[in-house]
Homo-oligomer: A and B are copies of this chain.
Amino acid sequence: MNTRAHIIQLADTLIRDKGYNAFSYHDIAKTIGIKPASIHYHFPVKSNLGVAVIEKQIDRLFAVIEKYKSKSAVERLDKFLSIYTAIQKDNKICLVGSLATDFNTLDEQVREKLKTFSELMLDWVSDFLEEGRSTELFEFEGSSRTKAIMIVTNMLAIVQLSRLTNEQDFDTVKNSIKQDLIKK
């Protein structure tokens, strides 16, 4: 992996571990084995790095959407849930939740990119929920966007809340979502 990509990957992990304002160029530099000033060659200011981290996640979500576009709604739901399962196993939280908390301290460019990312995610979830309902795999009331928000908020928050309660609560939420949704 090249240095630029390595920096982005470490920044992503650090943001989701400690928060945007708690990680520093020094944290990244010491892991890579270069000096903090060298990071500025790749990302002159911190918000450039923030934007790059979100862009990378947008790219990865686009790839997932593309890969799963012809799969069933259940498979797409499982994929969505598995993304959060990986976050949980890694003892991190999701990027949207972390940066939403720090939102009022972020530069405008980072805010806008984050909005783009959250819209993309909500649209994707809404889409497979809607399709799942029309194919009678899922059952729920109200609009698919509303249901998407309910499910996304469950997942976004449980990776945060389970830091305080216990890890099993994550599985509890995941199973509850599926049980509630799958048509009997």
Which residues of A are in contact with B by a Cβ distance under 8 Å? 17-19, 21-22, 93, 96-98, 100-105, 111, 114-115, 118-119, 122, 141-142, 146, 149-150, 152-158, 160-161, 163-165, 169, 172-173, 176, 179-180
Q: In the complex, which of the residues B19, B114, B169 contacts A102, with contact meaning CB atoms closer than 8 Å?
A: B19
A116 to chain B, nearest CB (A): 9
Q: Which residue of B lies closest to A97 (CB)?
A: B160
Chain B residues whose C-beta falls within 8 Å of the C-beta of A163 in the assembled complex: 100, 103
24 sample A-B contacts, Cβ–Cβ < 8 Å, listed by A number: A19-B102, A93-B100, A97-B97, A97-B157, A97-B160, A97-B161, A100-B161, A100-B163, A100-B164, A101-B160, A115-B164, A115-B165, A118-B165, A119-B165, A141-B180, A142-B176, A149-B161, A149-B172, A150-B173, A152-B161, A153-B154, A153-B157, A153-B161, A156-B157
Does the CB pair A141–B93 fall under 8 Å? no
A167 to chain B, nearest CB (A): 13
- How many angstroms from the CA of A39 to the CA of B98 in the assembled complex? 29
- Stoichiometry (number of copies): 2
Does the CB pair B19–A105 fall under 8 Å? yes
Chain B residues whose C-beta falls within 8 Å of the C-beta of A158 in the assembled complex: 149, 153
Does the CB pair B164–A103 fall under 8 Å? yes
Does the CB pair A169–B149 fall under 8 Å? yes
Q: Which residue of B lies closest to A14 (CB)?
A: B104
Does the CB pair B176–A146 fall under 8 Å? yes
- How many angstroms from the CA of A157 to the CA of B153 in the assembled complex? 5
Q: Which residue of B lies closest to A158 (CB)?
A: B153
- How many angstroms from the CA of A165 to the CA of B126 in the assembled complex? 14
Does the CB pair B118–A19 fall under 8 Å? no
Does the CB pair A104–B18 fall under 8 Å? yes
15 more A-B residue pairs beyond the given contacts A97-B160, A100-B164, with a C-beta to C-beta distance below 8 A: A21-B22, A93-B101, A96-B164, A97-B161, A98-B101, A118-B161, A142-B176, A142-B179, A150-B173, A152-B161, A153-B156, A153-B157, A153-B158, A153-B173, A156-B161
